[in-house]
Each structure stands twice: as C-alpha cells, then as structure tokens.
C-alpha cells in the first residue's frame, strides 16, 4: 500500500503538478525520512554525488540496495526457518545487509541489523526470528518511501527534460 | 605534502590519480566510485579480485593506488593486498565494514597503507593520495642516497648505533628528505613526474620476493651484518638483473629493521642520554618523533605511515594498528632475522615483522606494541627504561604534551606511536598542545564511572590502583564510561608539573583508549612496579588498551596529566575531585566529562592516572593532533585544582556543573552531577 501522499500523487497521472510542487513533495518526503530515522547522513553523501554528470546516481544506488537487501532477506528467511539454525551463516548475511544499509544511509535497517547480530552471537533462534521480522519491517517501510521518492524523481526529471526540449 | 606538489605540478596530482577500486558488493563499489570521482581521481572498478590482479599485472604503471575490500568471495582481501605489495609495490588501502582491532591490525601487518571503515566518507578519500606521494618520495630518497653516498649511509647508521637511536637516524633521513623537497623543486617535480612519465631517476622496480629476500639474508649473514656491503652481497646472491643500488637500498632498510629490533630497548636509554636528563618528555618526543618519522617515511614499504591510518565511523579509522601492530603481532613469529616466515608476505613485511620480535631481553620492542590488544603492558615495566629521577616535567612539559615523566620513558614512546597512528593525525609537536597524553583518571577508591552517552565510543582505560576499585573495569563495561581524570597526587608532586600547571597533584593519569576505533591505543600508566600497588588494568572496549606503567618512584609525584585531544573531539572532563590528600588517590581534580565522543574519537586520548604520581610512569600518550583547547582546559583545570576543584570543565557542549570540591567528592556526587544536565 502506498502511503497516502503517493496515492494522491500517482492517482492523477495527468494532473499537471508543477515542477516546483514536485520538488517540494520530494524534499518533504526526504526530510521526513531523515527525521524519522529512516535515513541518516550517509544518504546525504549519496545526494551529493548526484549531479549533472550522473543524474541517476541516487536511483541506481537505491535500486542496487533494494535488490541486495531483498536477496539477503530471502536467504535469511530460509536460514532462520530451519530446525537447526546456522548462526554463522545468518550472521554473515546480516553483516552484509548491515554494510549495505550503512552505505546507503538506511539507518533504521542498519540498527535493526546490529541488533540482529546480537542474537546471532548468542545463538538465539527466537531472537533471530524476531530480529528478522524487525529488519523486514524497517526495510519495507523504507522501500515504500524509496519507491515514492524515485517516482517523484522520475517525474521531476521528465519535466526537466521536457522543458529542455 | 609539499606545496609544490599541490599546486604547481604539470600533472596536477592528486587530480587524476589513478585508483583501482575492488569490492564485491556492487552497492559499495558504486558508492566508492562516485566518491572517488568526486575527488577527481581517475577510477577503475572491478568486483573481482582476480580481475584486479590481472589489470595490475598487465601494466604495473597503470595505477597509483589500490583500494580493496577485505571480504571478497573470490579472494581474501588480505591476500590481494600482499600480492599487490609484493608484485607491484603499490600502496593499498583496505576497506571494510569490520573495524575490529584485530582485523585492522591484520590489514596493517599485511602491508596496507590505510584501513578505512565503511561507509566510506569523502573526507577520508580526499586524503588518500598522500600514500602515493609518501611512498614514492621515500623510495626515491633511498635510491638517491644510496647512489650517491653509500658510505654516508653507513656512517649514518653507524652513528645511530652510537646511541642516537634509530629515531634520530630516521629523523635525519626524513629531514634530508624534507630539505631536499623544499629546496629542490625540480627534484620534487621529477618525483611527481614519475607518475606519468618515468624520469631518468626512476629505476625499474625490483620486487623483493620471499626468495630473493632469503638469498639476501643468507648473503648478509654470511658476510656478517657489519661487513655486508652491497657489492659483496650482490655477488653472493648472484641474481641477474639485480643492481647494486637495489641491494644497497634493501640493505639499508634491513639494517634499519635490525636496528630497531635491537635498539628499541636501548633506545630509550640512549634517547634519554641524547636528549638529556630527566626530561623524559623530550626523550619521548624525540624518539617518538623519530619513530614517527621513520614510519611516516615508510621505513618499510609495508609499514603504514603514521597518520595515514584513519579510522572511520566510530572513532574514525583505526589507525592504531599500523606499524605498531606489526610489531605487536610478531611475537609469534620466529625471531630470526632474515627468516622469511611466510611466503605470501612481502619481504618487507617480514622485516617489519621481524622487528616485532623483541630483541633479546627486551620485551618492549613493542614500541609498537602500543597497539591495542597486543601489548602486554605489564611488560612494559620499566626496567628497561631509563629511570629518570622523579622530577618532573619541566614546566613547559605540559605544553609540549609530554606527559610522562622520565621513568616511563619508553612507554610514552610506545604509546605515543600508536597514537600517532591516528588517522590523519599528524603528530605535531606544536608547542603547546602538541603532544598531550590524555590521562584518564581513575576515580578514587570508589568505582567511579561516569557514563556519558557521548562517550560510548571511547574505550576507556582505567588503571587500577590497588586502592581503586574497579573503576577501570567498570569503564570497560559501561558503554559510556567516561574517562575520569583523577589526580592522585598523594604527596608532593614534584614541582615540575606538567606545563607548570598541572599541579603536582595529579598523580593519576589514566589512559583512555578509544575503543572501537581502531586507532587508538591509549596508554595507561602502569602501576609502579615498585609500589606494588597498582594494578594496571587497561580496558577498552575493543580491547585496544595499553597500560602504561605507572610511576616508578615511590615518591608521590606529580601525576602527569596530559590530555591529548582530538581536535574534533569535544571533551568535557570531569575530574573526580576526590582529593588526593584524602584518598591519596584522587586529588582534587576537576572533573572532566567527556562529551561528544562520537565519531571523533580518533584521538587517542589517554588519561593517565598515576597513583603514585610518578610522572614518569605515565609517560605520554599522544594522540593525534594536538588539541589546543583541551590542553588549555586541562591546564586550567589542573591549576585550579589543587584543592578546591570545581570540577567541571566543559569543552563544548553541556558541561556538568559540578561544584564538586575536592574534598569529599564522592563517586555518587560526580555521577549525579553528570546526570544532571
């Protein structure tokens, strides 16, 4: 389910939302993500890397992150579901996810991973199960917002290129 | 780096520096690429180590620097590191999400110039070009010197044998290098040109493989280290395409290693002698600087340069383990010089490692053992070091940041080194604050542990004094333990207090080790061996603590109180103001509270608590950049403290209103005070 604001935005594909309004939407969205702890300063670095020469940088990075994360989450689900859990493997994956999330600035996800690793170290299966759920929760929340963000981006860029043409 | 390099160069280095980035994680690779491009480097990326090697082997001159992740599926990052160092002799920077001391140390011992933590920040990448320059210059220097004056080199080495210590020798080499750089612009430009276009001075690189090095060592041993002349070694080795210059430069490095092995222990003494008297501080400084220079100039190709190591994240990069780590690591290595333990390691690494082997009877070889985790500080007990009279530090000492008093001589050096390794920290002995050892004062008898949220990142080293209970230990556990400065001047501190300001009363110095950040090794004063009382306990979160020997003298001495602060750090120190007089543990000292430990913990702050106040004991630990403000603060604190110590000294952020006065300040009070804001 997309959040309300995106539904409103996207439900009227032909509504001529002005460029400025789009930008404002995007800014507000990103700011809210910072405030809510979904994103941290690292994301700012990403934003900084996007410029005229690499206009799709943030989008690419976000996509890479999402692919990576989902792959890892799938693996983790399988691993933690087993009767006897291989905590080392689980930990390795969580470590990877923690690395990617910290690289992209996905703060909540990263923190959830850190806690997950605690349970791994303690060989606590239930703890791991719970922790995995928490990670997923934060990840999907983030992904939703990323989706909206990227859509806004796209529209803004389309607008820009239209104007240039 | 020289100004000329920065601005006037034809090739505009570091712009356009050619970097090869290797990381199996596509996200990180992309990010890294973006950041490197932002720094205006010329970036090539690959996600396979094997591809990277292939690219490097194809054309050795194609790249200036390699950045590689540690964890890769097709090849271990460390392995890649070694191979690159061995075959191409390029500077390699390691990258990892794992900032544990052990891992970082491993990176350094395998020859990494630097170890960055993920997520990588642009600020750190902006500085990586230094590694390229440093390596180049040093090598060139070596070649030049050897070519022109082999005898001169020998003389130099001999001189160092005379007791100047390796440090001096390095310093000279370094100075020469600097002079040359400053004076001879053409020369430096030539050096720069090396990048693009081999100048006539550039020699084809000879890779000192394990085999080759073995032959070399055999030849040297055959001839006798003192009689080994490059020409003869060359003949004995009988290797084609090896020139006398190659051998000569290798020999020089080898000699330096040997020197270091054997001279470390004596170094302190000789340094002391050379430097004079009781100022251990000078001694430390000198040796420290000397060593620093040595490392900085890349005494070993694989030795990380000081200051280049930059911890990231938590405390920044852990630079600690750098060269020091090498030594520390080596206890397990065979002590044989010349043995090449490990075929995969670069021969220089071996040399470096060899250094780690303590020379007979000298457990402290570890100058480098300052590195966290590898030191057994207890070993550091003085015996080897010159015991200075308990005097104190000259008034100016404090300013100069030398914390320790004489006796601890070597320790400070040792610890200092690690500290130097702080990321990007140039150890600058600037007059005032240049070298500060931070002291962690352990609270008086009661466990005094102040938890500051900000401090979570700092490792704390607490020293136990037998009369102190667990303050140290607790700090280890508490996430936010705050180093506490306590002065334990029991008795009369000798006047020479640190900087004149530190009242003789602050016997305590506790070294604080920043944990997590790989870099720091704080040295805590070790208990005075003579006193039997002190148990030094060093604790740090990440295990990177080093205990420094406490003062030796039984006389209550002034505790040296130096605080080295990372300029980025904001420290509020809360001194436990138990006073010395009453408890003999903590004299009235201002309470320092450390705040805002985050991220900046690059410095190694060591707070010394010297119960007995032996200044010497504390030695100094200098970390990173001088932190003037902190020093000032401390100064102020110190001076104020004698008795009624009003405690809190807020550096930046909130400050605790302590109003604690020296007498009767109890742990609870302090804690409460801290909790207040």
Domain ranges of chain A: 15-50+62-164
B165-183 vs B185-196: helix crossing angle, rounded to 10: 90
* Joined tokens for residue B97: 């999400």
B137 versus A89: which is more confidently predicted? A89
Residue B165 three-state SS: helix
Which of B373, B342, B349, B319 has its CA nearest to residue B519?
A: B319
**Contact B26/A57, CB-based, under 8 Å?**
no
Rounded to the nearest angstrom, the gap between the alpha carbon of residue B30 and the centroid of all alpha carbons in its chain is: 32
Q: How far is A85 from chain B (nearest CA, A)?
A: 22
Which of B603, B475, B471 has its CA nearest to residue B540?
A: B475
What DSSP element (H or E) covers B56? Answer: helix B49-58
Q: Which tens digits make up the pLDDT trace of B584-607? A: 334 344 443 433 333 333 333 333
Q: Which tens digits make up the pLDDT trace of B34-59? A: 999 889 999 999 999 999 999 998 88
Most confident of A124-138, B48-62, B386-400: A124-138
Quote the pLDDT of residue A52. 76
Among B23, B32, B69, B119, the strongest candidate for a mutation testing the A interface, having the largest count of A CBs within 10 A, is B119
Quote the pLDDT of residue B674. 54
Task: Compare all CA atoms of chain A with the CA of B32 and give the residue at the minimum distance.
Answer: A103
Which residues of A fall below an 8 Å CB-CB distance to B? 42, 45-46, 48-49, 54, 57, 60-61, 64-65, 68, 95-96, 98-100, 102-105
Cα torsion at B338, B342, B343, B348 (round to 10°)? Answer: -50
**What would the mean pLDDT of B401-422 be, rounded to a whole number?**
38
Residue B588 contacts residue B641 (beta carbons within 8 Å): yes
Write out chain A residues lying below 8 Å of B26, CB-based.
64, 68
| Bridge partners, B96 (sequence order) | B117
Whether B25 has its CB under 8 Å from any CB of chain A: the answer is yes
**Contact B97/A99, CB-based, under 8 Å?**
yes
- Where residue A142 falls (left for φ over 0; alpha for ψ -120 to 50; beta otherwise) is alpha
Quote the pLDDT of residue B269. 54
- Where residue A37 falls (left for φ over 0; alpha for ψ -120 to 50; beta otherwise) is left
Phi then psi dihedrals of residue B631, to 5 deg: -60, -45
**Which member of B26, B35, B97 has the closest CB to residue A95?**
B97
Q: How far is A103 from chain B (nearest CA, A)?
A: 5
pLDDT at A50 over 70: yes
Whether B376 has its CB under 8 Å from any CB of chain A: the answer is no
CB crowding A8-27: b at 16 or more within 10 Å, else e: ebeeeeeeebeeeebeebbe
Q: Which tens digits make up the pLDDT trace of B241-293? A: 788 888 888 888 888 788 777 766 565 555 555 554 444 444 444 444 444 44
pTM of the model: 0.42
pLDDT at B138 over 70: yes
What DSSP element (H or E) covers B576? Answer: strand B575-576
Phi then psi dihedrals of residue B137, to 5 deg: -65, -40
Rounded Cα gap, residues A44 and A60, in angstroms: 15
**Which member of A48, A60, A95 has the closest CB to residue B30?**
A60
Rounded Cα gap, residues B91 and A117, in angstroms: 33
Phi then psi dihedrals of residue B92, to 5 deg: -125, 135
* Joined tokens for residue A157: 């860029």
Quote the pLDDT of residue B132. 87
Q: How far is B51 from chain A (nearest CA, A)?
A: 22
B25 versus A163: which is more confidently predicted? B25
Write out chain A residues lying below 8 Å of B121, CB-based.
45
Write out chain B residues lying below 8 Å of A111, CB-based.
none
B476 versus A145: which is more confidently predicted? A145
* Joined tokens for residue B479: 């996430």
Write out chain B residues lying below 8 Å of A97, CB-based.
none
**Contact A61/B30, CB-based, under 8 Å?**
yes
Residue A18 contacts residue A155 (beta carbons within 8 Å): no
Q: Is B164 exposed, middle or buried (0-12, 13-18, 19+ CB in 10 A)?
A: buried
The model's confidence at residue A38, banded by pLDDT at 50, 70 and 90, is very high
Most confident of B170-184, B532-546, B610-624: B170-184
DSSP secondary structure letter of residue B160: I
Query: Which regions of B28-72 does DSSP assign to beta strands (E)?
Result: 42-46, 65-69
Which of B235, B222, B221, B228 has its CA nearest to residue B251?
A: B228
Most confident of B215-224, B400-409, B636-645: B215-224
**What would the mean pLDDT of B124-146 be, rounded to a whole number?**
78
B162 versus B34: which is more confidently predicted? B34
Average pLDDT across chain B, whole number: 54
Note the CATH architecture for domain A15-50+62-164: Up-down Bundle (1.20)
* Joined tokens for residue B452: 């500051």
Residue B341 contacts residue B332 (beta carbons within 8 Å): no
Between CA B174 and CA B158, with CA B138 as vertex, the angle to 5 degrees is 55
Residue the block writes with tokens 């929760």: A137
Write out chain A residues lying below 8 Å of B38, CB-based.
48-49
Phi then psi dihedrals of residue B486, to 5 deg: -135, 140
DSSP secondary structure letter of residue B178: H
**Which member of B38, B118, B122 has the closest CB to residue A103?**
B118
DSSP secondary structure letter of residue B607: B
Which of B602, B595, B600 has its CA nearest to residue B651?
A: B595
Which of A149, A154, A145, A148 has its CA nearest to residue A55?
A: A154
The model's confidence at residue B643, banded by pLDDT at 50, 70 and 90, is very low
Cα dihedral B274, B275, B281, B285 sign? negative
Quote the pLDDT of residue B634. 41
Quote the pLDDT of residue B676. 52
Between CA B536 and CA B509, with CA B488 as vertex, the angle to 5 degrees is 50
pLDDT at B666 over 60: no
Q: How many CB atoms lie within 10 A of CB B211?
A: 12
Rounded Cα gap, residues A79 and A93, in angstroms: 10
pLDDT at A139 over 50: yes
Whether B367 has its CB under 8 Å from any CB of chain A: the answer is no
Assess whether the previous peptide bond of B112 is cis (omega < 30° from 0). Answer: no
pLDDT at A55 over 90: no
Which of B82, B299, B70 has its CA nearest to residue B207?
A: B82
**What would the mean pLDDT of B113-130 be, rounded to a whole number?**
89
Residue A65 contacts residue A104 (beta carbons within 8 Å): yes
**What would the mean pLDDT of B365-377 be, rounded to a whole number?**
39
Phi then psi dihedrals of residue A80, to 5 deg: -75, -20
Q: How many CB atoms lie within 10 A of CB B7?
A: 8
Quote the pLDDT of residue A62. 95
Among A63, A64, A71, A95, the strongest candidate for a mutation testing the B interface, having the largest count of B CBs within 10 A, is A64
**What would the mean pLDDT of B404-408 be, rounded to a whole number?**
38
Rounded Cα gap, residues B368 and B510, in angstroms: 19
Residue the block writes with tokens 């905590």: A87
Residue B295 contacts residue B275 (beta carbons within 8 Å): no
Quote the pLDDT of residue A72. 96
pLDDT at A132 over 70: yes
Rounded Cα gap, residues B492 and B138, in angstroms: 48
Residue B183 three-state SS: helix
Quote the pLDDT of residue A7. 54
**What would the mean pLDDT of B553-575 be, rounded to a whole number?**
40
Q: Which residues are CB-neighbours of A81 under 8 A, at least 6 positions away?
A: none
């Amino acid at each position: 389910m997309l959040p309300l604001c995106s539904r409103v935005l996207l439900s009227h594909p032909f509504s001529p939302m002005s460029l400025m309004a789009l930008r404002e939407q995007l800014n507000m969205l990103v700011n809210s993500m910072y405030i809510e702890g979904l994103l941290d300063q690292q994301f700012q670095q990403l934003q900084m890397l996007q410029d005229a020469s690499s206009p799709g940088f943030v989008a690419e990075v976000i996509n890479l992150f999402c692919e990576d994360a989902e792959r890892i989450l799938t693996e983790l689900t399988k691993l933690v579901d087993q009767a006897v859990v291989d905590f080392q493997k689980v930990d390795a994956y969580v470590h990877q996810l923690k690395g990617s999330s910290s690289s992209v600035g996905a703060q909540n996800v990263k923190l959830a991973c850190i806690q997950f690793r605690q349970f791994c170290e303690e060989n606590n299966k239930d703890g791991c199960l719970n922790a995995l759920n928490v990670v997923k929760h934060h990840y999907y929340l983030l992904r939703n917002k990323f989706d909206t963000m990227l859509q806004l981006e796209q529209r803004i860029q389309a607008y820009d290129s239209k104007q240039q043409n | 780096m020289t100004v000329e390099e920065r601005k006037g160069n034809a090739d505009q280095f570091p712009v356009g520096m050619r970097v090869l980035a290797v990381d199996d994680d596509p996200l990180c690779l992309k990010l890294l690429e973006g950041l490197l491009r932002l720094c205006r480097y010329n970036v090539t990326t690959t996600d396979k180590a094997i591809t990277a090697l292939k690219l490097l082997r194809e054309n050795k001159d194609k790249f200036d620097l390699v950045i590689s992740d540690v964890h890769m599926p097709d090849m271990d990052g460390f392995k890649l590191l070694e191979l690159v160092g061995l075959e191409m002799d390029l500077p390699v920077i390691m990258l990892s999400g794992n900032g544990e001391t052990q891992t970082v140390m491993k990176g350094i011992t395998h020859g990494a110039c630097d170890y960055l933590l993920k997520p990588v920040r642009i600020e750190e990448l902006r500085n990586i070009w230094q590694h390229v320059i440093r390596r180049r210059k040093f090598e060139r220097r070596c070649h030049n010197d050897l070519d022109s004056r082999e005898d001169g080199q020998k003389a130099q080495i001999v001189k160092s044998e005379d007791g100047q210590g390796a440090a001096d020798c390095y310093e000279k080499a370094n100075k020469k290098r600097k002079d040359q750089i400053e004076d001879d612009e053409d020369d430096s430009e030539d050096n720069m040109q090396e990048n693009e276009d081999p100048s006539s001075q550039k020699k084809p690189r000879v890779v000192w493989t394990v085999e080759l090095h073995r032959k070399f060592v055999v030849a040297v041993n055959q001839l006798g280290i003192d009689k080994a002349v490059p020409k003869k070694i060359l003949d004995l080795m009988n290797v084609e395409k090896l020139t006398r210059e190659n051998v000569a430069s290798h020999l020089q490095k080898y000699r330096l290693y040997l020197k270091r092995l054997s001279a470390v222990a004596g170094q302190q003494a000789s340094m002391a002698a050379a430097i004079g008297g009781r100022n251990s501080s000078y001694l430390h400084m000198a040796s420290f600087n000397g060593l620093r220079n040595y490392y900085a100039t890349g005494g070993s190709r694989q030795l990380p340069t000081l200051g280049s190591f930059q911890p990231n994240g938590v405390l920044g990069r852990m630079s600690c383990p750098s060269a020091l780590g090498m030594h520390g690591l080596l206890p397990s290595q065979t002590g044989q010089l010349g043995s090449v333990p490990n075929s995969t390691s670069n021969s220089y690494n071996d040399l470096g490692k060899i250094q780690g082997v303590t020379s007979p009877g000298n457990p402290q070889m570890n100058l480098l053992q300052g590195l966290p985790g590898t030191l057994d500080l207890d070993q550091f007990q003085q015996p080897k070091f010159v015991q200075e009279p308990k005097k104190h530090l000259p008034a100016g000492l404090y300013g100069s940041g030398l914390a320790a008093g004489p006796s601890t001589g070597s320790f400070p050096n040792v610890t200092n080194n690690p500290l130097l390794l702080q990321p990007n920290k140039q150890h600058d002995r600037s007059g005032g604050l240049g070298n500060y050892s931070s002291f962690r004062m352990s609270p008086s008898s009661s466990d005094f542990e102040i938890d500051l949220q900000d401090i979570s990142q700092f490792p704390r080293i607490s020293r136990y004094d037998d009369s102190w209970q667990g303050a140290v230990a607790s700090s280890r556990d508490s996430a936010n333990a705050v180093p506490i400065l306590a002065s334990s001047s029991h008795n009369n501190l000798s006047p020479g207090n640190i900087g004149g300001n530190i009242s003789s009363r602050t016997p305590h110095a506790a070294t604080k080790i920043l944990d997590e950040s790989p870099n720091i090794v704080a040295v805590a004063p070790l208990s005075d061996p003579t006193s039997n009382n002190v148990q030094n306990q060093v604790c740090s979160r990440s295990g990177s603590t080093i205990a420094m020997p406490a003062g030796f003298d039984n006389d209550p001495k002034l505790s040296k109180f130096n605080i080295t602060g990372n300029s980025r750090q904001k420290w509020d120190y809360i001194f436990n103001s138990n006073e010395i007089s009453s408890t003999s543990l903590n004299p009235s000292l201002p309470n320092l509270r450390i705040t805002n430990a985050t991220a900046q913990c690059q410095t190694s702050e060591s707070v010394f608590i010297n119960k007995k106040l032996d200044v010497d004991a504390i030695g100094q630990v200098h970390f990173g950049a001088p932190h003037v403000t902190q020093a000032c603060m401390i100064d102020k604190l110190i001076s104020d403290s004698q008795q009624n110590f009003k405690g809190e000294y807020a550096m930046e952020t909130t400050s605790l209103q302590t109003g604690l006065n020296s007498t009767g300040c109890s742990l609870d009070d302090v804690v409460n005070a801290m909790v207040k804001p």
